[in-house]
Amino acid sequence: MRTKEGNKEKDILEAAIKVFATNGYHKAKISKIAEVANVATGSVYVYFKNKESILLKIFEELWEKLYDELKIVSETQNLSPLERIDAMIDLVFDVFTENPSLATVFVNEQNHLLRANQYSFTTFYDKFLDLGVDVIKEGIRKGIFSSGIDLDVFRYYLLGGIRNTLQHWANDPKSLPLNKIRHNIKLLLRHGIQK
């Protein structure tokens, strides 16, 4: 069996993000991903079983990174719950500002992947959402956030709202820049959950 060498896996994932963002997951071809990654098509199969396993790995890495960074923020003692929510929004938008193609893949492909892999989708997605809910619980306990917030609604509203807004951005980036979305989501959250 051939050994895995260099950063081919990383190159393949980065190429896949570009190809999925440009062509969409369903129209993307492994051969195109290999071409963009500058590897042989067979090399892709050394690292990944199929196209879906590539997409799963992209989302696993995305949500693991976001979870790890939010965990650090949530454990920072000198931040208020409101500052933690701001940081949570910043984490998401920093990742997508650095890699707009990843934002497009997130918008277009995550729901498909969640439906198709309900039991094998990355656990970091739920862990990230759990940390966000913990921040809201703390804010409620401290009297900063309204006690009427339904935590399940908040859990899915936040990322659903971000995803929907990012979809509009993906269709017309100039009319709705990422930093404008970030700023306005923070304003909506601050004035929608603060007492």
Domain range for 186: 52-193
Task: Provide the pLDDT for residue 111.
Answer: 79
The number of domains in the chain is 2
Tokens of 23: 């062509």
- The CATH number given to whatever domain includes residue 12 is 1.10.10.60
Encode 57-92: b = buried (16+ Cβ within 10 Å), e = exposed: bbbeebbbebbebbeebbeeeeeebbebbbbbbebb
Task: Provide the pLDDT for residue 175.
Answer: 83
Shared domain for 107 and 151, answered yes or no, is yes
Average pLDDT for residues 12-26, to the nearest whole number? 95
Q: Residue 114: which pLDDT band, with cuts at 50, 70 and 90? A: confident
Phi-psi domain of 158 (left: phi exceeds 0; alpha: psi -120 through 50; beta: other): alpha
Task: Provide the pLDDT for residue 9.
Answer: 94
- The CATH number given to whatever domain includes residue 106 is 1.10.357.10
Q: Residue 3: which pLDDT band, with cuts at 50, 70 and 90? A: very low
Average pLDDT for residues 20-38, to the nearest whole number? 95
Shared domain for 65 and 94, answered yes or no, is yes
Q: Tell me: pLDDT of 34 over 90.
A: yes
Q: Tell me: pLDDT of 2 over 50.
A: no
| Predicted structure pTM score | 0.85
Shared domain for 90 and 131, answered yes or no, is yes
Range in 89-98, 145-154, 163-172 the model is least confident about: 163-172
Determine the longest span between alpha carbons in the chain, in angstroms.
Answer: 61
Q: Tell me: pLDDT of 1 over 50.
A: no
Shared domain for 33 and 111, answered yes or no, is no
Shared domain for 87 and 175, answered yes or no, is yes
Task: Provide the pLDDT for residue 67.
Answer: 94
Shared domain for 93 and 184, answered yes or no, is yes
Mean pLDDT of the chain: 87
Shared domain for 103 and 7, answered yes or no, is no
Shared domain for 9 and 90, answered yes or no, is no
Shared domain for 103 and 174, answered yes or no, is yes
Tokens of 61: 């890495």
Task: Provide the pLDDT for residue 119.
Answer: 58
Please give, one letter per residue, the 3-state secondary structure of the chain.
CCCCCCCHHHHHHHHHHHHHHHHCCCCCCHHHHHHHHCCCHHHHHHHCCCHHHHHHHHHHHHHHHHHHHHHHHHCCCCCCHHHHHHHHHHHHHHHHHHCHHHHHHHHHHHHHHHHHCCCCCCHHHHHHHHHHHHHHHHHHHCCCECCCCCHHHHHHHHHHHHHHHHHHHHHCCCCCCHHHHHHHHHHHHHHHHEC
Shared domain for 90 and 115, answered yes or no, is yes
Q: Tell me: pLDDT of 118 over 70.
A: no
Task: Provide the pLDDT for residue 49.
Answer: 94
Shared domain for 121 and 32, answered yes or no, is no
Shared domain for 35 and 73, answered yes or no, is no
**What are 154-194's pLDDT values in tens digits?**
888 877 888 788 887 877 778 888 888 888 888 887 776 55
**What are 46-91's pLDDT values in tens digits?**
999 999 999 999 999 999 999 999 999 988 889 999 899 899 889 9
Task: Provide the pLDDT for residue 188.
Answer: 82
